[in-house]
């Protein structure tokens, strides 16, 4: 099981509480047992001390001799061995193992490390700052030398030598020159040299290996590596003594997509940068709307235009805290806890795509959902009966959703076939949390970023009236840096909207 959703990671705290209780009862039972053992030990001590004052005299008495023998045979078997063997851990172990089902696994640890590295990349976080608990200005817990080194090793196991080097450097800087931690120092240099070598920085790998050998001249592998690096450099016609010892300026190696303009723009927008001027920004307006709908006439909703073409709006204060609470509770047991596998590679999907988990809520399950659907219908003027059920997503550690369209492209004819309601005509995306840092919804082609605000919802059309996709609606959910992100998605489909689209929210196009 992979804990990608924070709602589920929360279960760890309950498991932790249960384990604490189990350990405490084990300890109190053990304490009683150890008290008994201590009494026996004291008795032996006193007895032997007395006897040893004059052993011959003591043993001259046959009863004493008999009792002494009995002490370590019959008495031992009946009174001491049971106490010694009665280690009650097995009884408790079951409880601990039961609680452990709700604890994260090593897979989760790897996933969390990968998520941290992604956050570091996307938000340009300085390693040292992260290590000291500064996440882009939001303070969190700081990491120890060993924490940093463990992060490095986890990256190493993933074949990510770029982050390995970064985090070993940090661990080394924090370690300083402690003679007492020389073994750690040597191990770190070993990792560091190898990760520079893997990234193609032979000279620096050689320098670090020499440094390692001054600390530990008996390190056989380092000795062999040194020769290997030197041979390689000589073969390349390089001077093996020319490294200045400076840390090379390492470039992050990323796949082609990550180098693309779209991905770069997505990440820049996530960081809050301006990538292009919002078109016709001065024409954007805020207004109250009621659509002549009975639900809204007495309490019109606030609509804020965020973009004109395509038309993207935010609607404010349309879902209350108690409604949000209801939805979270309804969705939590349904959040999919299974490991998500990439259908093509069979790999765990924690690293690349959406690491949030989501759940569909059955319509009419609950009065809150019904009320919400009615309100969404009143606001959008679209038919909710042919729309998809509300989909609730809880973004976990670094949870994100890379750039995508909500509608199916021409070549994806079958995408929504089973629904029988046509393509996704519009998206209604409600934010159910404020996110402390990160987690924006961004539109790379428009330079637009929407920051989650609890109780607000975004709305846009994905299709033109003729059914063609509006490609500029391509959007993404930025990784959550600090905080928790919950959203509710309502996707409207073409069927059922034939008479409606012209009524209300639609732009004057
Ligand atoms: O969570 C967000 O900000 C966007 C989510 C999204 O685009 C989707 O679920 O299709
Ligand atoms: Fe989307």
Q: With cut-offs at 50, 70 and 90, classify the pLDDT of residue 505.
A: low
Proportion of the chain above pLDDT 90, given as a percent: 62
Q: At residue 456, what are phi and psi to the nearest 5 degrees?
A: -100, 160
Q: Residue 280 pLDDT > 70, yes or no?
A: yes
Rounded distance from Cα 322 to ligand 1 centre (Å): 22
Q: Residue 344 pLDDT > 70, yes or no?
A: no
The reported pLDDT for the residue numbered 174 is: 95
Q: Is 324 helix (H, G, I), strand (E, B) or coil?
A: helix
Rounded distance from Cα 416 to ligand 2 centre (Å): 15
Ligand 1, closest atom to CA 440?
A: 3
Rounded distance from Cα 222 to ligand 2 centre (Å): 50
Mean pLDDT of 284-311: 94
Nearest-angstrom CA–CA distance, 373 and 1: 33
Nearest CA to ligand 1 atom 2: 477
Tokens of 190: 């070993």
CB atoms within 10 A of CB 277: 8
Mean pLDDT of 266-294: 96
**Nearest Cα residue to 9 out of 481, 356, 351, 402:** 356
The answer to whether the CB of 461 falls within 8 A of the CB of 496 is no
The reported pLDDT for the residue numbered 15 is: 85
Q: Residue 176 pLDDT > 80, yes or no?
A: yes
- The residue ranking higher by pLDDT, 491 or 366, is 491
Q: Which of 354, 393, 433 gets mutated to test ligand 1 (max ligand atoms within 8 A of its CB)?
A: 393
Q: Which residues form ligand 1's pocket by a CB distance below 6 Å?
A: 401, 406, 429, 441, 475, 477, 487, 489
Which of 11-20, 64-73, 432-441, 500-509: highest mean pLDDT? Answer: 432-441
pLDDT in tens, 43-94: 999 999 999 999 998 888 888 889 899 999 999 999 999 998 887 888 888 8
The reported pLDDT for the residue numbered 4 is: 54
The reported pLDDT for the residue numbered 244 is: 76
pLDDT in tens, 254-277: 889 999 999 999 999 999 999 999
Residue by residue, DSSP assigns 261-296 as HHHHHHHHHHTT---SPPTTGGG--EEEE-TT-HHH
Nearest-angstrom CA–CA distance, 81 and 365: 61
Q: How many Å separate Cα 480 from the centre of its chain? A: 9
Q: Residue 492 pLDDT > 70, yes or no?
A: yes
Ligand 1, closest atom to CA 406?
A: 10
The reported pLDDT for the residue numbered 396 is: 77
pLDDT in tens, 119-130: 999 999 999 999
Residue 465 buriedness (CB in 10 A; 0-12 / 13-18 / 19+): exposed
- Say what the pTM is: 0.82
Nearest CA to ligand 1 atom 5: 477
pLDDT in tens, 194-221: 999 999 999 999 999 999 999 999 999 9
Rounded distance from Cα 453 to ligand 1 centre (Å): 14
The reported pLDDT for the residue numbered 170 is: 97
The reported pLDDT for the residue numbered 502 is: 54
Q: How many Å separate Cα 106 from the centre of its chain? A: 13
The reported pLDDT for the residue numbered 423 is: 92
Q: Residue 3 pLDDT > 60, yes or no?
A: no
Q: Residue 177 pLDDT > 70, yes or no?
A: yes
Nearest-angstrom CA–CA distance, 183 and 191: 13
Q: Which of 403, 456, 477 gets mutated to test ligand 1 (max ligand atoms within 8 A of its CB)?
A: 477
pLDDT in tens, 383-405: 988 898 888 888 877 889 999 99
Rounded distance from Cα 28 to ligand 2 centre (Å): 54
**Nearest Cα residue to 147 out of 160, 135, 161, 130:** 130
Q: Residue 356 pLDDT > 50, yes or no?
A: no
pLDDT in tens, 399-431: 899 999 999 998 887 778 888 889 999 999 999
Q: Residue 438 pLDDT > 90, yes or no?
A: yes
Q: With cut-offs at 50, 70 and 90, classify the pLDDT of residue 362.
A: low
Please name the residues in contact with 350: beta carbons below 8 A apart, sequence gap of 6 or more: 2, 4, 111, 114, 115, 340
The answer to whether the CB of 308 falls within 8 A of the CB of 470 is no
Residue linked to tokens 């109250």: 288
Mean pLDDT of 480-501: 88
Rounded distance from Cα 158 to ligand 2 centre (Å): 29
The reported pLDDT for the residue numbered 73 is: 93
**Nearest Cα residue to 30 out of 91, 87, 81, 93:** 87
Lowest mean pLDDT among 26-40, 43-57, 346-360: 346-360
Signed CA dihedral, 39, 41, 44, 47: sign only: negative
Nearest CA to ligand 1 atom 9: 489
Average pLDDT, the chain: 87
- The residue ranking higher by pLDDT, 412 or 131, is 131
């Amino acid at each position: 099981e992979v804990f990608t959703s924070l709602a589920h990671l929360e279960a760890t705290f309950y498991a932790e509480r249960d384990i604490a209780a189990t350990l405490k009862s084990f300890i109190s039972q053990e304490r009683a047992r150890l008290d008994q053992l201590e009494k026996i030990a004291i008795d032996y001590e006193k007895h032997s001390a007395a006897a040893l004052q004059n052993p011959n005299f003591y043993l001259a008495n046959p009863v004493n001799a008999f009792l002494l023998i009995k002490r370590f045979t019959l008495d031992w078997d009946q009174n001491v061995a049971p106490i010694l063997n009665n280690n009650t851990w097995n009884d408790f172990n079951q409880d601990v193992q039961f609680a452990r089902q709700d604890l994260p696994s090593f897979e989760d640890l790897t996933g969390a490390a990968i998520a941290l590295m992604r956050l570091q990349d996307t938000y340009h976080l300085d390693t040292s700052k992260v290590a000291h608990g500064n996440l882009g200005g939001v303070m969190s817990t700081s990491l120890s030398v060993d924490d940093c080194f463990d992060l490095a090793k986890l990256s190493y196991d993933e074949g990510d030598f770029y982050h390995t080097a970064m985090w070993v450097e940090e661990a080394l800087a924090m370690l300083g020159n402690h003679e007492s931690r020389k073994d750690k120092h040597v191990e770190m240099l070993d990792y560091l040299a190898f990760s520079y070598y893997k990234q193609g920085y032979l000279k620096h790998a050689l320098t670090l290996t020499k440094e390692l050998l001054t600390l530990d001249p008996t390190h056989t592998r380092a000795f062999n590596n040194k020769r290997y690096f030197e041979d390689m450099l000589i073969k390349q016609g390089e001077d093996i003594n020319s490294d200045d010892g400076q840390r090379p300026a390492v470039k992050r190696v990323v796949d082609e997509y990550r180098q693309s303009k779209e991905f770069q723009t997505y990440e820049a927008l996530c960081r809050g940068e301006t990538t292009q001027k919002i078109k016709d920004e001065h024409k954007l307006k805020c207004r109250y709307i009621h659509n002549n709908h009975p639900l809204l006439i007495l309490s019109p909703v606030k609509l804020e235009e965020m973009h004109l073409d395509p038309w993207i709006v935010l609607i404010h204060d349309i879902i209350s805290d108690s409604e949000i609470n209801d939805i979270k509770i309804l969705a939590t047991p349904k959040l999919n806890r299974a490991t998500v596998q990439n259908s093509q590679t069979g790999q765990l999907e924690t690293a690349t795509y959406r690491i949030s988990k989501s759940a569909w809520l059955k319509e009419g399950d609950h009065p809150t959902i019904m009320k919400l659907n009615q309100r969404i219908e009143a606001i959008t003027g679209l038919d909710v009966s042919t729309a998809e059920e509300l989909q609730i997503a809880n973004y976990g550690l670094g949870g994100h959703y890379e750039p995508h369209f909500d509608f199916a492209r021409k070549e994806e004819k079958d995408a929504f076939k089973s629904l029988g309601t046509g393509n996704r005509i519009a998206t209604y995306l409600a934010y159910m949390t404020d996110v402390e840092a990160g987690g924006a919804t961004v539109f790379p082609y428009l330079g637009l970023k929407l920051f989650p605000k609890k109780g607000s919802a975004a709305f846009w059309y994905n299709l033109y009236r003729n059914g063609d996709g509006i490609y500029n609606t391509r959007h993404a959910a930025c990784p959550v840096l600090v905080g928790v992100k919950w959203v509710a998605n309502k996707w409207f489909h073409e069927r059922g909207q034939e008479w409606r689209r012209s009524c209300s929210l639609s732009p004057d196009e």
